[in-house]
Amino acid sequence: MPIKVIVIGSGPGGYPAALRLKELGAEVTIVEAWELGGTCLNRGCIPSKAFLDTGHRVHAFDGLRKLLKDGSGVNFSPEMLDWDKVKARRAEVVSKLRTSLEKLFQAKKIEVLRGKAAFSGPNEVTVTGPQGAVKKTFDYAILAAGTRPSFPPPFRDFQAELTDSDRVFDLPRLPKSLLIVGGGVIGLEFACFFNAVGVEVNVLEILPEILAGEDPQVIRAVRSSFEKRGVKFHLGKKTACIDISGGLKTVELEDGTRLEAEEILVGAGRSADLTGMGLEALGLAWDRKGVKADAGLRTSIPNIFAVGDVNGVSLLAHSAARQGEIAAENIMGANRVFDADIVPRCVYAWPEVGSVGLNKAQAEAKGLTVRTARSFYLGIGKAVATDETDGFAQLVFDAADETVLGAQLVGGPATELIHLLALAVKLKLKRKDLKEIIYAHPTMAEAIHEALYK
């Protein structure tokens, strides 16, 4: 008899796990309470990139004016943008990918049960949905239920009146002004898009800087670029009170500053909500950070695994996918572990950001003596020719043997180029190994090559 596995959640952690399990001979059932593809496909990674693509087209359109004859009268204004068409394009992108995922499950003969899963025992779940209450037994279960937008106080008291990273895609109209709460990846990507399409954007961050944990050089470059385009940052500021009674929503900060906007988008991270899943009855503890799992993605209950955002290890879709595959392989007898040190971290705004491994401060905190090498796009032929000179490539080496410890890229196709350096970190390549690669000319990747000679 094949091993029976229940996968709870069909997002970027759940569906790769299900596919790998099926490939290895397991009998697999996916349980999904919402839409196939999870947050990433329906309310996160993919729709936000559709929005950003729209913003980038507007940004490029605006740059075209430099090459037109005087008086051509080509200007973009927010009134020209058809918000309904922008939303429809996003919905079409999501629908195509969701349909493709449905067909893949059908082709692989993976059962999909719609509804909310609740454990009724260590080897049984009850799925309550359109089909009623269905009981399913299993040998193993994988929790891949994801997270929900987090509302810190005092914004928590106004959730219905504010928007978040799930609901922003369905705003009835494009606002003239927007206050974004949170200066992390979520907040910055939406700030980039809305600024590009002509919305007045303010970003409020309780920490002293944006992109917490990133290299200071990266932070400085990104913030400077955003500020040049008109995004205003309010850093290290706590919110005293909120007023939504007037025509504009108002946030008053503890220092007395008042910020007004038509809409407030809370993008202050995400948290787990596993209420009603019966985990407590199993003795499986959880909090807003999720369920604890070891490096092999096992929870404290031997036959239950937790992958993706729900374990709080690395809240990224590609981390979830790899974790799902590892959990699947371990269920089928392997003993693999997830290495969070080689996960690329990406910001898909412009300038793009791609980071992997350790930055200088993180390496020094581990007691390592390091060297950094940096080159700027201002000196790269492809960057100058395409007018993409914002940013740099920075590599971090162990000073003792020049092993690559990490890298930070800002600008250009940073989110694509970072994979070369992720491979270098994983394989513990040295500076000389990267030097021996032949970098095509002219390319943005030559920024990496140039940095190796600094």
Amino acid at 256: G
The pair phi, psi for residue 419, each rounded to 5°, is -70, -30
ω into 351 cis (within 30 of 0): yes
- The token pair at 234 is 């309010």
Q: Is the pLDDT of residue 71 over 70?
A: no
Q: What's residue 80's pLDDT?
A: 83
State pLDDT tens for residues 134-192.
999 999 999 999 999 999 999 999 999 999 999 999 999 999 999 999 999 999 999 99
The closest alpha carbon to 376, from 409, 420, 398, belongs to: 409
Domain annotation for the chain: domains and CATH numbers = 4-45+86-147+272-341 (3.50.50.60), 155-268 (3.50.50.60), 351-451 (3.30.390.30)
Q: Is the pLDDT of residue 76 over 90?
A: no
Q: Catalytic residues, which ones?
A: 441
The closest alpha carbon to 205, from 229, 186, 184, belongs to: 184
Q: How far apart are the first and last CA of the chain?
A: 60
Q: Is the pLDDT of residue 246 over 90?
A: no
Helix 83-107 / helix 45-64 crossing angle, nearest 10 deg: 140
The closest alpha carbon to 229, from 351, 91, 317, 322, belongs to: 351
Residues 6+ apart with CB under 8 A from 88: none
Residues 6+ apart with CB under 8 A from 365: none
239: DSSP letter: E
Cβ contact 342:356 at 8 Å: yes
Mean local confidence (pLDDT), 282-298: 93
